Structure 1
């Protein structure tokens, strides 16, 4: 499967390398030419991906890094793992918007786009999908698939969870999208947890990040447990199995009320860049 992982930071690179290791032909896309040059030379900047692992997938031809958007043409599935930094108290979604525009310009019928970046409830369906449709002139749910599956990087992990063994929440804008997205991640993660829709998972990820900050502030530290459930089906986000990396996270430390994409206000613990776990 021709796979694109857009954003080759600490979230995107582990996903790209793991996908390459399990048989996908992966293009790691990043707009930073210096980072791409280092990756192409087999130099990993991510602790979870030793350089020897990166070199192995480079040498096998299963992975390549590029800053040239033209090389993305014809992808079957694309994952978006770009930063969403906090700017003046509000998350900056410009990287998601720019990436969606680029992927939309190279989107073919039958392709799938999955957002992994931590963001507000409504982003997938009300921001990402319209940009993809406008750039590609095809219709989501009819001509292509889309969904949201939050990154689960755990820097304070003391329970022995690895990238592959950490359960992965998956969602789609419709049933067919969910099937395709779950099928992709089933080959990468040992456990995938299907959830009723993107907004549920987007909110769940923010709740998880908020609990990380609050529990750390309360002195609970790593390994504390919390429980959140899918409001439409009881697909659990926790009891330790999914909330396995509770602990202080320096990049998810800002608390505040932020406007949702579709209106309303959510209180979140979220600082965008590197929203681990």
Structure 2
């Protein structure tokens, strides 16, 4: 009886090392079929899970409450499992070089508790070679076991899309790899327990590692192209969204749009690939060019917000701006590597007071990592500009009339009041630009441009 059969018969367990936005949904999915140990060094997070609370909002409190996952921060519990999945973050440092500290630490912890006959599968995003050249030596050193003899390894890149309720673990083809045919066969069968879309067996671990980093690098480059187009069309006075809608009528036009590119994958993975390329003596051209464009978009948005405020005769130093949405993408509390923070920092450099509203964001992460404290929608009053940065479902319910009420009241916003004071003014001849007193920055095109402009707002979007 091999390890797969032992797991199915509940004679052996699966462990998840790292219970964040990726690891926790995997643990919950497997727990419907087999026995699962969910390990994380964050004791506070473990207590939330034990109390039926899902801080990631990926599966929901009800599912967490009823799952059979054995949540623990006690690393010795890992000894009870034979099939281990490592799903910890792999960020980049300030100089854009890979920070392998989390995956190295996880490997040390797992190595100390590794038993003979185990299989370890890494899901963390890495550059080709990390699993075998960095993680395996750590596992061997800490366990005293020999890879290929006493235990085996594999790599299966995570493809979970945080906040996406359609493209989930179960519905996305899973790339799997193993150090030999036996490991690959077991790893494939284990994942097939939960992945309805099936698995794809990569030729080698390095092929699987490379596949992961190019998936997000490709997306990063495509978005960078759209961001560059938005910069060009903005100078031309052409609406980028209108251009993309027209171009999108061609059957093979790729459906990408401009925006802030952050998060733990798209804004990070390209640097892992280019770092390894540099080690091999090749300096990336396209990938790093795209990264530079996307990294600079927060500053670009802030600068254009200030320009629009100047056009509406706003005093910049001391102006109040409400920013809606601070997570790296819509409908997720995840604020890791969010580029919205770049917008905030740049505006504050101009002396602008920024009020941030986000009912979805993880408040503790925001406070701890960025020093940002959230405001409530009802507290947003007397502002000079509004920036809708992230299209959360809650924000899509906000109407233009609701937005207008948040701005400072001005004479030109209240034409009837002006008529009472100066009945001789011919308001039909007031130009459109003269009537635009407040600024609406709509990064993802949530509002209708014409309706916003007809409402007297200076409207700008990427």
Fold match by TM threshold 0.5: yes
Pairwise mapping of residues 91-106 of structure 1 onto structure 2 (< 5 A)?
Answer: 91-106=98-113
Secondary structure in 2 matching 1:73: helix
Structure 1, unmatched stretches of 5+, are 222-243
Which residue does 1:45 correspond to in 2? 55
Change (3 A) 1:177 1:204: same
For residues 82-117 of structure 1, what are the alpha-carbon distances to aligned partners after superposition, in whole Å with 9 as ceiling and x for unaligned?
011110211111111111111111111111100000
Pairwise mapping of residues 102-121 of structure 1 onto structure 2 (< 5 A)?
Answer: 102-121=109-128
Which residue does 1:21 correspond to in 2? 32
Secondary structure in 2 matching 1:85: coil
Q: Assess if the C-alpha contact under 8 Å between 2:90 and 2:98 holds in 1.
A: yes
Partners of 1:74 and 1:32 in 2: CA distance: 20
Deviation at 1:219, TM superposition (A): 3.0
Partners of 1:181 and 1:260 in 2: CA distance: 27
Q: Assess if the C-alpha contact under 8 Å between 1:145 and 1:176 holds in 2.
A: no
Pairwise mapping of residues 82-231 of structure 1 onto structure 2 (< 5 A)?
Answer: 82-87=88-93, 88-155=95-162, 160-190=166-196, 191-219=198-226
TM-score, length-normalised on structure 1? 0.80
Change (3 A) 1:152 1:197: same
Deviation at 1:39, TM superposition (A): 0.7
For residues 243-274 of structure 1, what are the alpha-carbon distances to aligned partners after superposition, in whole Å with 9 as ceiling and x for unaligned?
x9999652222555643399426756899x68
Which residue does 1:250 correspond to in 2? 262
Partners of 1:162 and 1:14 in 2: CA distance: 9
TM-score, length-normalised on structure 2? 0.49
| C-alpha RMSD of the superposition | 2.9
Partners of 2:278 and 2:14 in 1: CA distance: 30
Secondary structure in 2 matching 1:8: coil
Secondary structure in 2 matching 1:161: coil
Deviation at 1:161, TM superposition (A): 2.9
Structure 2, unmatched stretches of 5+, are 1-6, 8-12, 228-240, 242-254, 296-335, 338-462
For residues 172-191 of structure 1, what are the alpha-carbon distances to aligned partners after superposition, in whole Å with 9 as ceiling and x for unaligned?
11111111111110111021
Name the structure with the higher helix share.
2
Secondary structure in 1 matching 2:178: coil
Count of residues paired in the alignment: 245
Partners of 2:90 and 2:190 in 1: CA distance: 24
